[in-house]
Amino acid sequence: MIPHSKKGSVELSLEQTIGLILAIGFILLSIAVIVGLMKAFTSPPDQGTTKMYSRMYDASLAMLNPANLNDSCKISRGYIDTDYAIVGFNPEGTPNKKGEIGTKGTEDYGLVRETCGWFSDKPVYKPTSCFNKACLCLCRTGTGSLGKDGCKDKQSRCMRLDAAQRLITYFKNSDKDLVLYGKSCILGSKHNVIAGYVIKKKGDSLSINEVLTNEEMKQYNYPECDDIAKSFSRGSAPVAQKVEAPKEAPKSSFCEDSKNAGGGCSGTQIKVST
């Protein structure tokens, strides 16, 4: 029973006040959780992620152009939204790194295996929009690691790489199926802005590899993938050429971009625990 004062105002006991505060806190927490879940399940990739995906696709397309005489290039400064991953699928008949092709006519045909820390046993199914060709996809991971249908999510998208026969990445001293996260898939820690990516061509195979720190990136005296992509833009006539790396590495705006994205400036600050 709530006691009343002589003036007719309502007085709350200490227990009632604490209960009211706890109730309000619970309501606010519930709203935050619901909003977070809605964002995780419905939010499209941000502009930086879409641009990164487009740059990586254009670079891959240019590297596979038969007129391109470069076998390596680098993408300076890389960023992928923590709710997304970039995934590469092989063409029909090319097995993944575990030797699997899947059963034709079923959803696991053309599957890849994601690499999460020391584990690489989770299947990721190839979208039908890739048809029987290799393709590079931007896939939604949501709050956890990439699920088997992550690349079939309505917010995901794929673009074909008809000339590619194999797409891989280098991880933990060996080649793996191409899955590049925007976060540590085990701990969930953010990459923010990383130093970039290195793309290497060997025949009709491509490897796309993360470079987490500036110090590591300095050892790759390769031309910028963006410059090669400009030379071999989509639909352009093939003219044999090689893009040279600059004799002196230009001053990078990496630190400025990293600070704007909430990351650090020195290489040791931009790393991921796995």
Q: Is residue 119 within 8 Å of 176, Cβ to Cβ? A: no
Distance separating alpha carbons of residues 34 and 40, to the nearest angstrom: 10
User: Helix, strand, or coil here: 43?
Assistant: coil
pLDDT of 252 > 50? The answer is no
Percentage of residues in the chain having pLDDT higher than 70? 69
**Per-chain mean pLDDT for the chain:** 78
Q: How many residues does the chain have?
A: 274
In the chain, domain spans: 46-269
> In sequence order, what are the residues at sequence separation of 6 or more whose Cβ sits closer than 8 angstroms to the Cβ of residue 34?
none
Q: Is residue 88 within 8 Å of 166, Cβ to Cβ? A: no
Average pLDDT over residues 70-87: 93
pLDDT of 257 > 50? The answer is no
Predicted confidence band of residue 173 (pLDDT cuts 50, 70, 90): confident
pLDDT of 198 > 80? The answer is yes
CA triple 53-85-91, angle to 5 deg: 75
Nearest to 179 by CA among 270, 233, 117, 236: 117
The CA-to-CA distance between both ends of the chain, in Å, stands at 56
What pTM, to 2 d.p., does this model score?
A: 0.72
Average pLDDT over residues 256-266: 38
For the ranges 7-11, 33-37, 54-58, 132-136, the lowest mean pLDDT is seen at 33-37
In this predicted structure, what is the pLDDT of residue 156? Answer: 92
Give 212: exposed, middle or buried? Use CB within 10 Å, 0-12, 13-18, 19+: middle
